[in-house]
Structure 1
Amino acid sequence: MQLTKERDELLSSNHDLIKQTDQLRQEKNEPLKSIHGMEGWIYYQSNLYFISSEKKSWTESRRSCTERGADLIIINNRQEQVLGSSEPNGHRGENCALTYSPGWADYPCSDRFLWICEKRLLK
């Protein structure tokens, strides 16, 4: 009698764990499902990136990103910060930065360049 009761409890517990595992798998895959419908976006390290094919000013670029539910890419790690620490420096109205290999340069924000949007999936 006791063994039957313990078996039934274990079966019930196992069933609950299977349901929880299925739920977690579904939640984990939910952001990836939404990516498939986002043409032109690249998924990398839990973020989405949109790389433009047309040149725009900083203001126009930012507007294009916000219309896509994103923002212009933000440099947010130490290695990237060290590379760009002196630019933009505000000289001669050059308040926007442009990255290129091997470094950085600052330009007037009205100049037109290609741009990248970043959308964070995990907060």
Structure 2
Amino acid sequence: MTMQTIKSSTQDQNPPSSPGDQHSGIRNYRLTAVCLGLLTVLLLIIITALSIHYSCPQGWIKFSSSCYYISNDRKTWNESRQNCREREADLVIINNKEKQMFISKFHNFWIGLTDSNKEGNWKWVDGTTLITGYWIDGQPDNEDNEDCVVTYGQKNPEATWNDLTCSCTAHWLCEKPASR
């Protein structure tokens, strides 16, 4: 091998740095940083949009995937239901233990359960039949033609329901999906 060949192979393996090479490296870093910054901003916009989309209206409480309105005043069961409908909601439907545990904190509130169409045939406001009830011992008793259900505070959060005459007044709980 000649000296010329050794010299040219060494130059190819270690090319000299020129100011132009350094500037292109800096440009690549800046381009990468700008792209990462834009992606971060895009992700923040998406997260914000999703959190707004799945939030509850002002004055409502979010629990699980629903929003709940807790009234301050008292109305009959029918008036309470109408108030919920005006809010694009309905009286709360308690169809699982998790929701019952949440609702059990509220005392003297109407829920969306009635047997006003047929005595003893308890139906939710969406037309579904009651499967699991969280009745206080001895309830429902239909004393004085009680066709609507109210929650009462009890030591046992799994036993808070009482049937009550629908014309009585109580607070009420409205429920609607959080995604509305």
- RMSD of Structure 2 on Structure 1 (CA): 3.7
- Name the SS for the 1:115 alignment partner: strand
CA distance, structure 2, for counterparts of residue 83 and residue 34 of structure 1: 27
Partner of 1:58: 77
- Picking from 139, 149, 152, the partner of 1:97 is 149
Task: Return closer, same or farther for 1:29/1:78 CA change in 2, 3 Å cut-off.
Answer: closer
Select the residue among 26, 39, 61 that pairs with 2:48. Answer: 26
Give the corresponding residue for 1:75.
94
TM-score, with normalisation over the residues of structure 1?
Answer: 0.66
Instruction: Tell me the TM-score normalized by structure 2.
Output: 0.49
Secondary structure of the residue that 1:111 maps to in structure 2? coil
Runs of 4+ in 1 over 6 A off after TM superposition: 10-13
Residue of structure 2 in register with 1:111 after alignment: 168
Q: Which has the higher helix share?
A: 1
User: Which AA in structure 2 matches 1:106?
Assistant: D
Name the aligned partner's letter for residue 23 of structure 1: I
In structure 2, the partner of 1:45 is 63
Distance in 1 between residues matched to 2:38 and 2:94, nearest whole Å: 43
Is contact 1:96–1:108 with CA below 8 Å preserved after alignment?
yes
Unaligned runs of 5+ in 2: 1-28, 101-131, 155-159
Instruction: State the 1:68 CA deviation.
Output: 1.2
Q: Percent identity, please.
A: 30
Question: In the alignment, residue 62 of structure 1 is paired with which amino acid?
Answer: R
Q: CA deviation at 1:66?
A: 0.9
- The residue type paired with residue 117 of structure 1 is C
Q: 5+ residue gaps in structure 1?
A: 1-6
Cα deviation, 1:57-85, whole Å, max 9, x if unaligned, reads 11100101111122112212136344239
- Aligned letter for 2:60? I
- The count of residues paired between Structure 1 and Structure 2 equals 119
Give the whole-Å Cα distance in 1 for the aligned partners of 2:77 and 2:146.
Answer: 12
Q: CA 1:87/1:31 → structure 2, altered by over 3 Å: closer, same or farther?
A: farther
Tell me the distance in 1 between the aligned counterparts of 2:41 and 2:179. Answer: 24
